[in-house]
A and B are shown apart, each in its own frame.
Chain A
Amino acid sequence: MATITSDQPDPQTSSSQTDTEITPQQQPIYRRSLPVIYRWAIALATTLVVLLICVIVWEPNMDFPSEVSQQQDDGSTKQVEIGRLIASEIKTATTWLVRNWGGMFDGIDYLITYAMVWIEDGLRWIPWPATFVAVGALSLILGTWRLSLFSLVSLVFIGVMNRWDSAVETIAIILFSVSVSILIALPLGIIGAKSNRFDAFMRPVLDGMQTMPSYVYLVPGILFFGLGYTPAVIATVIYAVPPAIRLTNLGIRQVSAETVEAARSFGTSPAQLLTKVQMPMAMPTIMAGINQTTMLALSMVVIASLVGASGLGEDVFRALQQQDPGNSVIAGMSIVLIAIVIDRLTQAAARRRQEILSDN
């Protein structure tokens, strides 16, 4: 509630009006504690003392105690590494899931593969001149003639280099992954904006999704779904969805509290507030999030090709295996050009939206 009005009785101002003399309780906390220099000194001294004691009593290269003794069946005890113990438990759990929930994973696999094939076939069906016209016109409407020219030159490069089919496969997986990401990101972002508790829960989860090396979830992905589109799509979504969630959340939180308050004062229901005030006003930020999600999805194409997604990523990966720098550069350049075109297009769209909302 505290952010709702500008005229809230702010603790500092209202108290300074009643009595000008500042009591100790009203001082900022850091004034009451130790000076910063002492805190640093104490921390350094403690570290040195512990270091000295350890070096003197034991030896410089100490091992961390990572083993526990476990009771064996025959009554004897054995030293076991804790990490290995947990790792084997995770493996057991994964195997159990594959055995007992295989039907569900097969179902998901079927759905995703079916959708992917459908999108890919659809894109492949479009004749390339039609693609040229569509991309050229879209970039002309959203951006400038320069963007339009750049987009067309990029398409010509991809076509001439005989990467058209690979590019279509890549676009298909990006299109599908980003769509799934948006479907996940919007509701989660909205809930996160409404509930501080959910936001606090989501934050470390999103950090983890972005920093966890992709190989870590590729392995269970293959175990659950086998090689193919499905683990590729899931890995791409896991890696790419966080910015869309974060920026949806941020965009809604950033909507001016005054506007929201004014809307509420007229009897706006929570649903009306969300759909008619908060979402439209958050749209530029949400679009920036989707733009980032798209870029991250593109950066995943090579890793996705490891688990069986075809496309430009696969071309790069094959060139790597065959130690063929020429093809690797050409496929890599194609990915970069696609990324730049999509980035500029979505940014141009977001900018048009931003212009309407700006200056306020």
Chain B
Amino acid sequence: MANESLAPTRGAVPGASNGAQSPFISVDSVWKVFGKNPERVLEPLYAEMDKSFIQSELGNVIGLQDVSFSVEQGETFVIMGLSGSGKSTMVRCLIRLIEPTAGSIVIDGDDITAMSDKDLIEFRRSKIAMVFQHYGLMPHRSVIDNASWGLEVQGVDQATRYERTREILDLVGLTGWEDAYPRQLSGGMQQRVGLARALAVDTGVLLMDEPFSGLDPLIRRQMQDELVRLQDELHKTIVFITHDLNEALKLGDRIAIMHDGKVAQIGSPEDIVLRPEDSYVGDFTQDVRIESILTARKVMVPPMVTFPGHLNPRAALDAFGRANRFLGWVVDEVGRYIGALSHSAAERASRSGAARLDQVQECLDQEYPVLTPATNFDEIIPVAMGVDHALPVVDDDRLLVGEVHRTDVAEALAIASASSPDYEANAAENAAQDTDKS
């Protein structure tokens, strides 16, 4: 069995090998064997044997087989796999709702596997919160009592926990439903309660086990968008389980694809789609549209022509001439984007005798389309077709970070579409990129 090649441990390795600060969540060679005497399956005798053979000979089902990965603080890490792949078992091992058979799990410096029952309860109370596919709400408790459950078991008094929970219910859009009972809510709203319950305890780590799988597609998309919005605000470390590749690609900073209890590949959405490392991942991702994966970040280049807002229009014209361009970006003192400036607008402004660019409305074209680094090609392509020049890329703080050229977009698409199904080469390239990053 090609054990080693299929279960890459590189997810856990970079932090350790570099001697840099260790990752926030670090899972190292975790095994879960169901059935009697699970330890015997780990003996060298069985190492080379097939999973189904072990199952029929010993009666042990292998749920997780040498799973390793690491998650950085503030990252959304998605574990994706079909049912039976071990993804739900893995996330339960993280808080020992299921006891791992072997391996080590360290979260925020605490070794989970070595904890006593008492420490484990304390850890679950303070460090981690979980959202479940089937909500797991208590039918005999109202929405606010459900959402404040985590605080209640911590021993927080009622007034304090209601106050805190009301804020969170407001955050997830459940204001006015505090006194309702779960049975009175739709599935989407019940899951909002589940989410509120997890957010109310204010832990650093959020585990989400297929939280949106039970919801209908429209609500699911709405909840995904909401999670993205919340995550922008809260910056939690999220481990998100899903069987839906699109959901994984949409939410994940990095994705681990699990298959048959093993990790098939770990990487960014782009790695997974463009450079699958084995045929399983390749088959999985072949239908994914490349346009939805590639983003402006991939093709953006440093802005070529930028003008400080206080610049004289005449000087701007000179700059246009030197750069041989007809469009540039006007920024303020700290580099924030304030508008697009066309050559003709600069010409008119200089003729009218204006002293500064930012005093002329026409020189700060607000209509010109603007991208963010995360804008994907699906959105870029129609916009790029509609304009003759490059497009500015602006980050969350309105800082101008680059520009995107139509030709680069086309080229990136062509390269990605032609990407070879050479899994070994893909693996090598992914590994090389990882070393570059770290």
**Which chain A residues have a beta carbon within 8 Å of chain B's beta carbons?**
1-2, 4-11, 13-15, 17-19, 23, 25-26, 256, 258-259, 261-269, 272, 276-277, 280-281, 356-360
Any A CB within 8 A of the CB of B125: yes
**Known A-B contacts A19-B52, A258-B132; A263 and B124 likewise in contact (beta carbons under 8 Å):** no
Residues of A within 8 A of B183 (CB): 358-360
Question: A302–B135 Cα gap in the complex (Å)?
Answer: 51
Question: A269–B149 Cα gap in the complex (Å)?
Answer: 12
Q: How far is the CB of A182 from chain B (nearest CB, A)?
A: 20
Are A280 and B150 in contact, CB atoms less than 8 angstroms apart? no
Any A CB within 8 A of the CB of B136: yes
Any A CB within 8 A of the CB of B86: yes
**Which chain B residues have a beta carbon within 8 Å of chain A's beta carbons?**
34, 51-52, 55-56, 61-63, 82-84, 86-89, 92, 95, 97-99, 121-126, 128-130, 132-140, 149-150, 152-154, 181-183, 194, 197, 201, 207, 210, 260-261
Are B56 and A26 in contact, CB atoms less than 8 angstroms apart? yes
Q: How far is the CB of A217 from chain B (nearest CB, A)?
A: 39
Q: Which residue of B lies closest to A260 (CB)?
A: B136
Choose among A2, A262, A277, A356 the residue with the greatest number of B CB atoms under 10 Å from its CB.
Answer: A262
**Known A-B contacts A9-B86, A13-B84; A281 and B139 likewise in contact (beta carbons under 8 Å):** yes
Are B88 and A263 in contact, CB atoms less than 8 angstroms apart? no
Q: Which residue of A lies closest to B198 (CB)?
A: A266
Residues of A within 8 A of B149 (CB): 263, 266, 268
Question: A276–B154 Cα gap in the complex (Å)?
Answer: 13
Are B55 and A267 in contact, CB atoms less than 8 angstroms apart? no
Q: Can you show 19 pairs from A to B with CB atoms below 8 A apart?
A: A1-B98, A2-B34, A7-B83, A7-B84, A8-B34, A11-B61, A18-B52, A23-B52, A25-B56, A258-B136, A259-B136, A259-B138, A261-B136, A265-B128, A265-B207, A267-B124, A269-B121, A280-B138, A359-B139
Q: Pick the contact of A6 from B133, B139, B140 — CB < 8 Å?
A: B133
Residues of A within 8 A of B121 (CB): 267-269
Residues of B within 8 A of A272 (CB): 153
Residues of A within 8 A of B95 (CB): 265
Are B84 and A9 in contact, CB atoms less than 8 angstroms apart? yes
Q: Pick the contact of B153 from A5, A10, A266 — CB < 8 Å?
A: A266
Q: Pick the contact of A266 from B82, B150, B260 — CB < 8 Å?
A: B150
Q: How far is the CB of B85 from chain A (nearest CB, A)?
A: 8
Question: A261–B137 Cα gap in the complex (Å)?
Answer: 10
**Known A-B contacts A13-B84, A267-B121; A360 and B182 likewise in contact (beta carbons under 8 Å):** yes
Residues of B within 8 A of A2 (CB): 34
Residues of B within 8 A of A276 (CB): 152
Question: A9–B210 Cα gap in the complex (Å)?
Answer: 16
Q: In terms of DSSP, what is the predominant structure of the interface of chain B?
A: mixed
Q: Which residue of B lies closest to A255 (CB)?
A: B138
Are A13 and B83 in contact, CB atoms less than 8 angstroms apart? yes
Q: How far is the CB of B133 from chain A (nearest CB, A)?
A: 7
Residues of A within 8 A of B56 (CB): 23, 25-26
Q: How far is the CB of B119 from chain A (nearest CB, A)?
A: 11
Q: How far is the CB of A65 from chain B (nearest CB, A)?
A: 43
Q: How far is the CB of A276 from chain B (nearest CB, A)?
A: 8
Question: A13–B86 Cα gap in the complex (Å)?
Answer: 12
Choose among A15, A259, A266, A276 the residue with the greatest number of B CB atoms under 10 Å from its CB.
Answer: A266
Are A267 and B182 in contact, CB atoms less than 8 angstroms apart? no
Residues of A within 8 A of B89 (CB): 5, 7-9
**Known A-B contacts A14-B84, A267-B153; A356 and B52 likewise in contact (beta carbons under 8 Å):** no
Are A261 and B138 in contact, CB atoms less than 8 angstroms apart? no
Residues of A within 8 A of B123 (CB): 267
**Known A-B contacts A269-B153, A356-B181; A262 and B137 likewise in contact (beta carbons under 8 Å):** yes
Residues of B within 8 A of A259 (CB): 136-139
Residues of A within 8 A of B51 (CB): 18
Please list the 5 inter-chain residue pairs (A to B) with the smallest Cβ-Cβ separation, ordered nearest first. A262-B136, A267-B125, A267-B124, A7-B88, A359-B183
Are A280 and B140 in contact, CB atoms less than 8 angstroms apart? yes
Q: How far is the CB of A81 from chain B (nearest CB, A)?
A: 47
Q: How far is the CB of A353 from chain B (nearest CB, A)?
A: 9
Question: A5–B88 Cα gap in the complex (Å)?
Answer: 8
Residues of A within 8 A of B130 (CB): 262, 265-266
Residues of A within 8 A of B124 (CB): 264-267
Question: A164–B32 Cα gap in the complex (Å)?
Answer: 67
Are A15 and B55 in contact, CB atoms less than 8 angstroms apart? yes
Residues of A within 8 A of B99 (CB): 1
Residues of B within 8 A of A280 (CB): 138, 140
Q: Pick the contact of A5 from B98, B150, B260 — CB < 8 Å?
A: B98
Question: A11–B154 Cα gap in the complex (Å)?
Answer: 38
Residues of B within 8 A of A360 (CB): 137, 139, 182-183
Q: How far is the CB of B370 from chain A (nearest CB, A)?
A: 42
Question: A175–B41 Cα gap in the complex (Å)?
Answer: 57
Q: How far is the CB of A40 from chain B (nearest CB, A)?
A: 30
Residues of B within 8 A of A359 (CB): 139, 183
Residues of A within 8 A of B61 (CB): 9, 11, 14
Are B125 and A266 in contact, CB atoms less than 8 angstroms apart? yes
**Known A-B contacts A8-B89, A19-B52, A265-B97; A281 and B83 likewise in contact (beta carbons under 8 Å):** no
Q: Which residue of A lies closest to B146 (CB)?
A: A262
Query: 6 additional contacts, CB 8 Å, given A6-B134, A264-B124?
Result: A9-B86, A10-B84, A262-B130, A265-B97, A266-B150, A356-B140
Residues of A within 8 A of B194 (CB): 262
Q: Which residue of A lies closest to B95 (CB)?
A: A265
Question: A276–B34 Cα gap in the complex (Å)?
Answer: 30
Question: A13–B82 Cα gap in the complex (Å)?
Answer: 11
Q: Which residue of B lies closest to A14 (CB)?
A: B84
Residues of A within 8 A of B88 (CB): 5-8
Residues of B within 8 A of A4 (CB): 92, 97-98
Q: Which residue of B lies closest to A359 (CB)?
A: B183
Q: How far is the CB of A281 from chain B (nearest CB, A)?
A: 6
Q: How far is the CB of B236 from chain A (nearest CB, A)?
A: 16
Question: A250–B135 Cα gap in the complex (Å)?
Answer: 23
Q: How far is the CB of B94 from chain A (nearest CB, A)?
A: 10
Residues of A within 8 A of B87 (CB): 7
Are B138 and A281 in contact, CB atoms less than 8 angstroms apart? yes
Question: A26–B56 Cα gap in the complex (Å)?
Answer: 7
Are A263 and B139 in contact, CB atoms less than 8 angstroms apart? no
Are A11 and B92 in contact, CB atoms less than 8 angstroms apart? no
